[in-house]
Chain A
């Protein structure tokens, strides 16, 4: 064949590839444009446009205010401190999970992951029950942390422990231990071999985990809302306050933009480290690298990690359950079934049904959108544009959920998109947060499908659709289920956006908990604990199912 003809043919193939990719991307792009970019833009415009003209000067004005600067400063340093503390506490855990065999390891791995899928409201409530007024520490030693920043930091460690254990531990368990042995044979001590060989290999995973933790804590809402009191406020909490209590939309808009810029910067760094993580490491089967601890030092390390998990992760949840039972047995639970006409038009228990319905719908949306996006991102010919799309998909994790929720209210209220009174509004907002999890869970698995398998199928006569159906789908089915489980748990716990758009007569579980906590009296407090316990159990069950399905632990969550 003449070279010209070949080139033309290749161009045609590229064009076909692009068309297929655009087709796959169309739905996710449209979804994000309408339900993410548009509402956020509407809020920003509402704040910064006056009489048809833009007032960018307001940005400077707002940033000049000392209390805004204070919030910015606090948001940043508490996120940095939370990240450092989480790494410090969780890295030994990552090592223990990666390298040691011990009885009950599988169960413990599920236990440490429970906090991550717990709704922020539950986490806040659990810590309140532990370190707050009348909490366990208060009763035992008169110690209260709820007015200090420590409550927030500890709750953030609680929340993100699993991020480090999974991201770093996942890679660690696949590093060939013989790399370290090779260094030792060349004269490096145990510690030096770790520093010279293992640490450089782990560095990108540690960086990726640190960035995720920073992102989650930088945008922390539910935890700070409950534990921060009047003294501590993150950007997200401040946006909520400005929008729903002070009604200063201009300030809220500026804060939203600031948060957006910060998150975009963090995500850019994250994307860079993730790409670096994929360099030339030879990975081995994780099952072959773990063994029983040997010697006093290793047993002590294992014991230390177990104690940490017990005190930091299990104790708050146990206290939560204990408080929900109170002195009256199941009294608080029974009270949940009664209509009280105060904060609720219906019995609080109905929030369970609402939450489940919303979460199922949100999961369905997130899985469809996320799977399409992941499929588009996996195509071998993915160019720079598509990689940008990759980062874009992560944005909803960082952009103020409060802004999204409020944006829904003011942007989607007129034809052709008048969804104000539609129940679908809540699942749509929740799906936005679920999509990044779906994409992140599916991508590593889809990318690990050997391209030659697809070629083999094609040579045997399978059309592209059949190739996907026969080769990709069977390999990603588990990942798809895991992704769905994550989306479900995340939707169930979504608070920042839902608090705006859930209708008063149809609250979700986290919204109902927050409302109960906002009212005085032991009865309301106890009911909040009871409802949080129910929410925790639902999430834990979802997670246990996930753990059973999950085979590959190298994913990012």
Chain B
């Protein structure tokens, strides 16, 4: 593993006695793209501000290239931060915004001009230099903000909800562009978002946060396949989570006994049943349920099922075979889609 560029050790920030960032340890390696994922209020923006030097730490430390950053003011840390709502300077045009960083670093006029041209080209707005930032569309503002953040060539680029305010189709397109761009430039990136699809699409590694602490850290595939606990599972959108007693290859859950993979941990655990692991069968077999809702999702139909004496279950059904609301159905479980959480 390459040497780590950014390190947080026991980083703690308290607001009015409450820890918004609670002894967080985190490393980001050179050229790595790390996405911090969490609901609002989980402390992810504070994490960025602490690294940036905009928010002093109450305990712990932040290192860049192994050097403690305590006492290094924000403008000397050589980290870039793209703000949630961009914070473009309204009094300056696009070029003035992009040139701001190089200018602060003492670049000559010619250098500034070249850098602006280069970056606007990079973000796909080669002719926008003289435009007013107020006249830009949301997507264009996002690109200009990115160009501005990249212009001083920061060692670490941080993004706060980079695509938060854009509409969905634009977001899906830009996330691919960003990923491609960061790969090409070799930029080290620490991004925060509350949107899991954004995080999974962008990151080499995903860090899930909850109440100022790190709940799980791993590759997108890892986190998706094996959520560390019920919170992460629910946050990722899985609602079929329940307490269970695991013995051998069987788990005893509120939905009855179900098969689990061979290597599953034993004892009192939490199980997650993916919607794809909930198979709808005729009413006279398996767990008896009533269909209470049915939502078309494009590739499949999400069906909500209500068993008689257990929490509701989400199931993903094929488009053609999905039952109607009010139908009585049976449910069986698929061991491959059941995860016993740690």
Contacts and interface: CB of A to CB of B under 8 A. Distances in A.
B257 interface: no
Interface residues of B, number: 27
Interface of B: 52, 54, 56, 73-76, 78-81, 83, 85, 87, 89-91, 100-101, 104-105, 132, 134, 148-149, 151-152
B81 A281 contact: no
Interface string A514-541: 0000000000000000000000000000
Contacts of A187: 75-76, 78, 101, 104-105, 152
Interface centre among B54, B76, B152 (most CB of A within 10 A): B54
Nearest to B55: A181
Contacts of A294: 56
A189 B78 CA distance: 12
Contacts of A181: 52, 54, 74, 81, 83, 87
Given A184-B54, A281-B90, A189 B105 contact: no
A185 interface: yes
Contacts of A200: 91
16 contacts: A176-B87, A181-B54, A181-B81, A181-B83, A182-B83, A185-B52, A185-B74, A185-B75, A186-B80, A187-B75, A187-B105, A187-B152, A279-B90, A280-B90, A280-B132, A281-B90
Interface string A78-91: 00000000000000
- Dominant secondary structure at the A interface: helix
Nearest to B134: A280
Interface of A: 176, 178-179, 181-190, 192-193, 196-197, 200-201, 279-282, 294
Contacts of A192: 75, 104
B73 A178 contact: no
Given A185-B80, A280-B134, 14 more contacts: A179-B87, A181-B54, A181-B83, A182-B81, A182-B87, A185-B81, A187-B75, A187-B101, A187-B105, A188-B75, A190-B75, A280-B132, A282-B85, A282-B90
A178 B83 contact: yes
A185 B79 contact: yes
B70 to A, nearest CB: 14
A181 to B, nearest CB: 5
A183 B80 CA distance: 10
Contact of A179 (B56, B73, B80, B89): B89
B104 A201 contact: no
Contacts of B100: 183, 186, 188, 196
Contact of B101 (A179, A186, A190, A197): A186
**Closest CB pairs A-B (n = 9):** A186-B101, A187-B104, A182-B87, A184-B74, A185-B81, A280-B90, A280-B134, A188-B104, A184-B75
A197 B83 contact: no
A243 B75 CA distance: 63
Interface centre among A181, A190, A193, A281 (most CB of B within 10 A): A181
A193 B75 CA distance: 10
Contacts of B85: 282
A279 B90 CA distance: 9
A192 B79 CA distance: 18
A27 B266 CA distance: 87
Contacts of A185: 52, 54, 74-75, 79-81, 149
Contacts of B134: 280
B57 to A, nearest CB: 13
A372 to B, nearest CB: 34
Nearest to B133: A280
Nearest to A190: B73
